[in-house]
Amino acid sequence: MGEEDFPTTDASADGVRLQKVLAQAGVASRRVSEELIADGRVRVNGVVVTEMGARIHPESDLVDVDGVAVQVESGMRYVMLNKPTGVFSTMRDERGRPDLTQYTEEWPERLYNVGRLDAETSGLLILTNDGQLAHVLAHPSYGVTKVYIAKVSGRVSAQTISQLTRGIELEDGPIVADKARLLDASGGTSLVELTLHSGRNRIVRRMMAEVGHPVRELVRRQFGPLHLGTLPAGQAREVTKVERGALLTLARRDAALASDDEPQGDTQ
């Protein structure tokens, strides 16, 4: 999309002025947004736009500032939840078991979970009404990484850590951890940190069982650029502007690189 596609002076032109959209998105005041545009720091659909009267369509055009994606379409919500154990990753459990609806009541939008964590696994879940972003984050071909901390039975050796990163064979095919490290080994248990981009069902539990160290407790600490931090179990919060920018930047980058296959679940 070239700069010639953006009318600059006609007050009746279709779309909304770019500096107004940036200000409404919380990037900066309208005056500062104009300076960002003039300095060539703003792109629309990958094209630098410096014309002050440029107009865009927030519902369809992709905007970034200094390479960081900006959500300019109104009505999008992004929430981070620290899912506790005993809660099922669905918005309505048909059997009446604890589900995710209790964590979305304060937001008026209809939110959905991105991927899943099984009931025995706690940690970071993303809730959103942005279907395109949810598709990219949950789709295994996009390779979005997730970081887990597993408390496992037995004392994990350096050889076992190496085995996880070299790859192991499961009943549904080989699997390789992107990263693995031993955090602690004391008594009869060990703490292992695993980084994976696989979306296969209960993959962490199956990997650790295969190497002889069944999982006792499992928590997801990171999903893409989002970190659980100090968010207490059972609490949810909106992502910050910085987190949202990182999330959208990742999603747009991966969407441009990966193929469009059908998504799979990522229950752990």
Alpha helices in 49-202 (DSSP H): 131-138, 158-166
The token pair at 110 is 């209809």
The three-class DSSP label of residue 257 is helix
Alpha helices in 115-215 (DSSP H): 131-138, 158-166, 203-210
CA nearest neighbour of 80 among 59, 107, 98: 107
Amino acid (1-letter code) at residue 21? V
Q: Which of 5, 39, 93, 118 is catalytic?
A: 118
| Most distant CA atoms of the chain, gap in Å | 73
CA nearest neighbour of 19 among 37, 41, 1, 5: 37
Rounded to 10 degrees, the C-alpha dihedral 171/174/180/182 comes to: 40
> Residue 37 belongs to what H/E stretch?
helix 30-38
To the query of whether residue 130 is one of the catalytic residues in this protein, the response is no
| Phi–psi pair at 17, nearest 5 degrees | -60, 135
CA nearest neighbour of 146 among 128, 166, 124, 167: 124
Amino acid (1-letter code) at residue 91? M
| d(C-alpha 155, C-alpha 189), whole Å | 6
The token pair at 106 is 């304060």
| d(C-alpha 171, C-alpha 206), whole Å | 10
Residues with active-site annotation: 118
